[in-house]
């Protein structure tokens, strides 16, 4: 029903009901880790243009940053909590120079010294995220003046 509403709103063109054995993470052993990482990036990219909504966790209503990453990972069979700070404690630390597609990237955007923003790394120094009120999910560079200044680390769940 939820997917049908997204089609009706023109947010997505089609949808599939996925058996848990068909999640990307369930196919990791068969297809390899690069497959899972590519699927995470593909899923993240499918939400480009969806509006930001504080506390949001769905494409039909909108996403906040951690709701977006939570949904992207969930669609691929990986569960994340719905808070960027909690997500920053999942998986294993990855240095900026060793980030791989599908890793989570974190930022301290409110100068609190704590993680307050998250996105999905897509390779070539770029990430997809839900940037904030009045904006839509899009791609940014880790090397932009703003995001390089506020970068707080990367994590891998693979």
Catalytic machinery residues: 65, 117, 129
Paired tokens of 114: 């704590």
Paired tokens of 13: 């063109």
Work out the number of other CB atoms within 10 angstroms of the CB of residue 2. 9
Whole-number Å distance between alpha carbons of 137 and 27:
27
Alpha helices, H only, 9-142: 28-31, 33-46, 65-74, 84-87
């Amino acid at each position: 029903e939820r997917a049908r509403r997204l089609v009706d709103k023109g947010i997505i063109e089609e949808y599939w009901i996925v058996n848990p054995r068909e999640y990307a993470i369930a196919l990791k052993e068969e297809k390899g880790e690069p497959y899972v990482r590519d699927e995470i990036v593909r899923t993240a990219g499918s939400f480009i243009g969806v509006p930001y909504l504080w506390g949001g966790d769905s494409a039909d209503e909108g996403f906040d940053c951690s709701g977006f990453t939570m949904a992207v990972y969930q669609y691929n069979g990986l569960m994340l909590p719905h808070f960027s700070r909690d997500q920053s404690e999942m998986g294993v630390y990855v240095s900026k120079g060793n980030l791989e597609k599908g890793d989570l990237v974190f930022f301290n955007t409110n100068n609190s010294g704590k993680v307050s923003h998250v996105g999905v790394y897509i390779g070539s120094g770029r990430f997809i995220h839900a940037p904030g009120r009045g904006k839509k999910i899009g791609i940014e560079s880790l090397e932009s003046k703003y995001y390089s200044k506020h970068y707080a680390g990367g994590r891998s769940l693979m």
